[in-house]
Amino acid sequence: MRARVIVVAGPSGSGKTRLSERLGLPVLRLDDFYRDGDDPELPRRSTGLVDWDDPRAWDRASACAAIATLCRDGRTDVPIYDIAADGRVGQRELDLGGSRYFVAEGIFAPEVVEECRTHGLLADAICVRHHRVVTFWRRLTRDLREHRKPPMVLLRRGLRLMRAEPAIVRRALDAGCVPATPKQAERRVRALLARPRK
């Protein structure tokens, strides 16, 4: 095994991506494993819109396989997902470059923790969180800036996620993630990186 994974979970807009970039480690974007918008198996809400916050909208098996390959081989091909296009628009090679750790981050990150731990791939699992009003505002401004969906869709989704945030965090903790603010999470990971190689 060449590397182990640091799983970074947390509600949408909590700062997972920003934390992952600050750490300077290779990053596997788990949100790139969403299913295409025309997949007939996608879960839908009563309005007929796809429920992108349901884990069934996401390809867990492919994400876990990518993590295992990275840990074993140090590189793998991963999809590139465009949220605005509701689908994969290509793929890229993720090469760890000899790093002994990499980050896997995304809203469905808790879904991979148990399998990674079972197979000895897990270095750490963290749930990044803020006050839910802060998370709501950060998520909404990001999604509007990136034109991810029509503004009213983003606002309704944001309010729904704000109400659901305590349950989202609780599921991450139940999966084995440690709760932390972004600063606490960064200190925790840097302490891990500072440990000598065994």
- SS3 call for 98: coil
pLDDT above 90 as % of the chain: 59
CATH architecture of 4-193: 3-Layer(aba) Sandwich (3.40)
Can you name the residues that pair with 101 across neighbouring β-strands?
A: 4
| Cα distance between residue 62 and residue 152, in whole Å | 32
Torsion of CA 165, 124, 104, 131, to 10 degrees: 20
Q: pTM of this prediction?
A: 0.84
Instruction: Give the per-residue pLDDT at 98.
Output: 95
Report which of 162, 144, 164, 145 is spatially closest to residue 153, judged by C-alpha positions.
144
Q: For residue 130, what pLDDT is reported?
A: 78
Q: Dump pLDDT digits (tens) for 159-175.
A: 887 888 888 889 999 99
